[in-house]
Amino acid sequence: MATLTPSRTPARRGHQLAWAGLAVALTALNLRTAVTGFTPLLETIGADLGYGVTVAGLLGTVPAVSFGAFGFLAPLVTRRFGLERTAAVALGLTALSLVLRALSPTTTALVASTVVALAGIGAANVVIVPLVKAWFPDRIALWTSLYLILMQTGQFVAPLLAVPVADATTWRVSVGVWALPAAVAAAVWLVLAARLRADHHAPATPTAAVARLRVGRSSTAWGLVVLFAAISLSNYGIITWVPAVLTDAGGSTALGGTMVALYSAWGMAAALVVPHLATRLRNPFVVVVVCAVVLVAGYVGLLVSPLGGTVLWMCALGVGVSTFPLCMTLINRRTRTPQSASAVSGFVQGIGYGLACLGPIGLGLLREATGSWTVPLLALAATAVPGVIGGWFACRPRFVEDAAPPAPEPRTATP
C-alpha cells in the first residue's frame, strides 16, 4: 500500500494552503499601490526634482506599458522557475525599486526606478491568476473575488493616504512606504517556494495538447485579448480624462476626484458578483452585453449632460467595466492547467495592456485636435463594439488547449 510523503500529507498540504492564501492576499494588495499612491504627488515631486508636464505625462503612461511588456515576459520565467519563485522575485524587485524611487536624486533615477517597480508588478499581475488556479482549483470564484477586492482596496487607499503622509513627512516617505507591504508579500512567497519544487504544479502525465500549447492559435485567447484591451482602454481613459471632462464643463476639481473614487468603488462590487456569475454560467456572454450597454449609456450621459447626472453616469461607467473581473476569471475557466493559465494570462495582459496604453495618449490628442470632448467620448463608447465581439469568442465554453495542434502520429520502424 502506498504511503503519503511528508510533502503530501493532509496536514502539510493544509499548512501550505494557508501560506498560499496569505501570499495571494498580500500580493493583491500590492498590485496598484505603486501607481495610485504615486500619481497624486506628481506635481509635488516635479517641483522638487525639476521636471515638467511632459515627464509627468510619461510617468502616467509607464504603468500600462510596463504591465504589458513585462506581463508578456512573465510566463517565460514561470516555466523555468515556477509560479511561487516568480512571484517572490517580482515582488522583491518591486519593493527594492520603490525604495530606490523614494531616494531618487534626479528625474532619470525616478523614471528608471518606476519602470523597474512596475515591471515587478506587471509580472505579479500575470502570475496571481494561475496561482489561484494552482492552489484553489475548486474555489476559483471565491479567490478571484478576494484578490480583486484586495487589489481594489489597495488602489483606493493608496491615493487617499499619499498627500496626507507627504504633508506630514515628505513625498519620499509617502512614496517609499509602499515598499514594506511588497517586501512582506515577497517574503511569504519565498518561504512557501523554499518548500516546493519549481515544477510541483506540473501534471504527472501532461497531454500532448498541453505540451504543445500555442496560445496564439486559440480564438478564445484572442477573444480575451480584445475584451481585456477594450475594457482596459476604457478604464485608463476614464481615470485619466473624466476629471478634465467635468472641469471643462464647469465642475470643480474636487468633483472630478470624487467621481473617480465613486467609479473605482464599483470595482469592489463587481469583484464580489462577476466571478461567481462566470463560474455558474456555462456561457457568460450576457454579462458582456449588459456591461457594454451600460458603459455606452455612461459615455453618452457624460457627453449630453456632464453635470446634470454625473453620479448616475459614473455609476454606469463603474458597472460597465465589470468585464475586467470576468476576464480574470475566464483565464482560469478556459484553461485546464496552471501552466496554460500562466501562458494565457501573460498573453492577454501583455497585449491587452500594450494596446490600452494608447488610450490616454490618443484621447488627449483627439481633444487637442477637435477642441472638445465629443469625439474622445464617442471613441470611448465605440470600444464597446470590439469588446462585445471579443467577449463572444472568450465566453464560449471551450478550452484554449483545444486549439493546440494535434500530436503527430508515432513513427513505426520499417524493416
Residue type present at position 381: A
3-class DSSP state for residue 321?
coil
What's the pLDDT score for residue 5?
A: 38
Cα–Cα distance between 185 and 87 in angstroms, integer?
9
Where is average pLDDT lowest: 53-67, 113-127, 262-276, 286-300? 53-67
Cα–Cα distance between 389 and 374 in angstroms, integer?
24
Which residues 6+ apart lie within 8 Å of 415 measured at CB? none
Answer yes or no: are the C-beta atoms of 57 and 183 closer than 8 Å.
no
pLDDT at 207 over 80: no
pLDDT at 110 over 90: yes
pLDDT at 2 over 70: no
Answer yes or no: are the C-beta atoms of 118 and 63 closer than 8 Å.
yes
Answer yes or no: are the C-beta atoms of 320 and 298 closer than 8 Å.
yes
Which triple of cell numbers denotes residue 117?
517597480
Quick: pLDDT tens for 6-41. 344 555 667 888 889 999 999 999 998 888 888 778
Answer yes or no: are the C-beta atoms of 332 and 145 closer than 8 Å.
no
Terminal-residue alpha carbon distance, the chain: 44
Answer yes or no: are the C-beta atoms of 161 and 174 closer than 8 Å.
yes
What's the pLDDT score for residue 74?
A: 79
Binned at pLDDT 50, 70 and 90, residue 296 comes out as: very high
Higher pLDDT pick, 270 / 66: 270
Which triple of cell numbers denotes residue 338?
496552471
Residue 48: count of CB within 10 angstroms of its CB: 14
Query: Sign of the CA dihedral 74, 78, 81, 86?
Result: positive
Cα–Cα distance between 369 and 399 in angstroms, integer?
44
109 alpha carbon, distance to own chain's centre = 25
pLDDT at 211 over 80: no
Binned at pLDDT 50, 70 and 90, residue 206 comes out as: very low
Answer yes or no: are the C-beta atoms of 48 and 174 closer than 8 Å.
no
Q: What is the 3-state secondary structure (H, E, C) of 142-183?
A: HHHHHHHHHHHHHHHHHHHHHHHHHHHCCHHHHHHCCHHHHH
Query: Sign of the CA dihedral 244, 246, 249, 254?
Result: negative
pLDDT at 104 over 80: yes
3-class DSSP state for residue 149?
helix
Answer yes or no: are the C-beta atoms of 127 and 345 closer than 8 Å.
yes
pLDDT at 335 over 50: yes
Which triple of cell numbers denotes residue 182?
511588497
Question: Whole-number mean pLDDT of the chain?
Answer: 85
Cα–Cα distance between 20 and 262 in angstroms, integer?
32
What's the pLDDT score for residue 9?
A: 52
Domains of the chain from N-terminus onward: 15-198 (1.20.1250.20), 213-403 (1.20.1250.20)
pLDDT at 199 over 70: no
pLDDT at 212 over 60: no
The residue count for the chain? 415
Q: Stretch 383-407: mean pLDDT, rounded?
A: 87
Cα–Cα distance between 106 and 49 in angstroms, integer?
6
What DSSP character marks residue 50? T
Classify each residue of 322-340 as buried b or exposed e, where b means 16 or more C-beta atoms within 10 Å of its C-beta. Answer: bbbbbbbbbbbbbbbbbbb
Answer yes or no: are the C-beta atoms of 317 and 295 closer than 8 Å.
yes
pLDDT at 230 over 50: yes
Binned at pLDDT 50, 70 and 90, residue 338 comes out as: confident
3-class DSSP state for residue 309?
coil
Where is average pLDDT lowest: 82-91, 153-162, 193-202? 193-202
Task: Judge residue 196's burial from the number of C-beta atoms within 10 Å of its C-beta, 0-12 exposed, 13-18 middle, 19 or more buried.
Answer: middle
Cα–Cα distance between 195 and 367 in angstroms, integer?
54
Where is average pLDDT lowest: 119-123, 208-212, 317-321? 208-212
**H helix and E strand count, the chain:** 19, 0
What's the pLDDT score for residue 226?
A: 96
Cut 0.85: pTM above it: no
Answer yes or no: are the C-beta atoms of 395 and 288 closer than 8 Å.
yes
Quick: pLDDT tens for 352-380. 888 888 887 788 888 888 989 999 999 99
